[in-house]
Amino acid sequence: MVTVGAHVSISGGFDEAVARQRDLGGTVGQVFVGSPRGWAVKDVDESDGAAFREAAAEHDMGPWIVHGTYLINFATPKEDLAEKSVRCVQGELDACSTLGIPYYVFHPGAHTGAGEETGVANVADRLSELDVPDDVTLLLENTAGKGTTVGKTFEQLDDMVAQSTQTYDDIGVCLDTCHLHAAGYDFRTAEGMDELVAAVDEAIGLEHVEYLHLNDSKHPLGSEKDEHEHVGEGEIGEGGFDHFVTHEAFADRPMVVETPADENGYAWNVEKVRSLAE
């Protein structure tokens, strides 16, 4: 059985996130540790961590992942924004460790006109400033490529690690299906899926892909637009997700959906992934 869940709220406490995930039918999950559109990291103490770990263990739920705030921009040429970003990521990594959450993911950011090479180098420099806790793996998320964002290609993601003082012992990759599709990676056929897997393996190494975000796309292949749709209901379609979640390269990875919050909801998408994986 695939390990799949959804992004859930921490309102009322981190242990409440476990209860919400259980109600959705998920066996893994994703949370924020602060407002996704602010810089403040929620104060997390040992009692929060103990309650969360106990609830997750009781329901045999995990591994969990924390998603970084959307304001983070490691690619920026602006030093003040870079300093805020590094401080925020460090705080969120430390919160992961306190909670016992083994994964943390964030978007590398945008170079805002400084150029892709400079943007990638900036990400590497800021990664080098981090003290990644021993029990947490930081994951770079591939991007759709809109505007001046970096991380659209697997080669760029690998360069961010290679140019930093970090290694793949502390850093990995989270692949987002909507972003892959928007960036021009077509895995809607079996042949296309094999080509995607080969490209990931050559540039990054499959062993460094540690988590997956499952989102369909509202826009065509290569659009560079990051707008999520329900699994199987968008431009990727059921066939694309069938190839993705059942391929031997990714079938055992933890997966979370970040699909629209409308009439279908997360529970529908979690069940849809399970049905496609059967």
> Where exactly are the structural domains of the chain?
4-277
Per-residue pLDDT, averaged over 64-92, amounts to 98
Percent of the chain with pLDDT over 70: 100
Q: How far is CA 168 from the centre of its chain?
A: 16
Beta bridge partners of 103: 65, 137
Q: Is the pTM of the predicted complex or chain greater than 0.95? A: yes
Give me the pLDDT at residue 222, please.
98
Question: Residue 263's pLDDT band (boundaries 50, 70, 90)?
Answer: confident
Q: Which CATH superfamily is domain 4-277 in?
A: Divalent-metal-dependent TIM barrel enzymes (3.20.20.150)
pLDDT in tens, 111-158: 999 999 999 999 999 999 999 999 999 999 999 999 999 999 999 999
Q: What's the CA gap between 66 and 88, in Å, rounded? A: 13
Distance, in Å, from the CA atom of 249 to the CA atom of 247, rounded to the nearest integer, reads 5
Query: Which pLDDT score is estimated for 261?
Result: 86
Residue pair 140/160 in contact (Cβ under 8 Å)? The answer is: yes
* Pair 232, 193: CB distance under 8 Å: no
pLDDT of 96 reads 98
DSSP state of 41: B
Hey, what are 278's tokens? 């059967």
What is the residue-averaged pLDDT of the chain? Answer: 97
183 has pLDDT over 80: yes
The C-alpha atoms of residue 234 and residue 258 are separated, in whole angstroms, by 14
Confidence of residue 1 (pLDDT cuts 50, 70, 90): confident
pLDDT, average across residues 41-45:
93
- pLDDT value for 264: 87
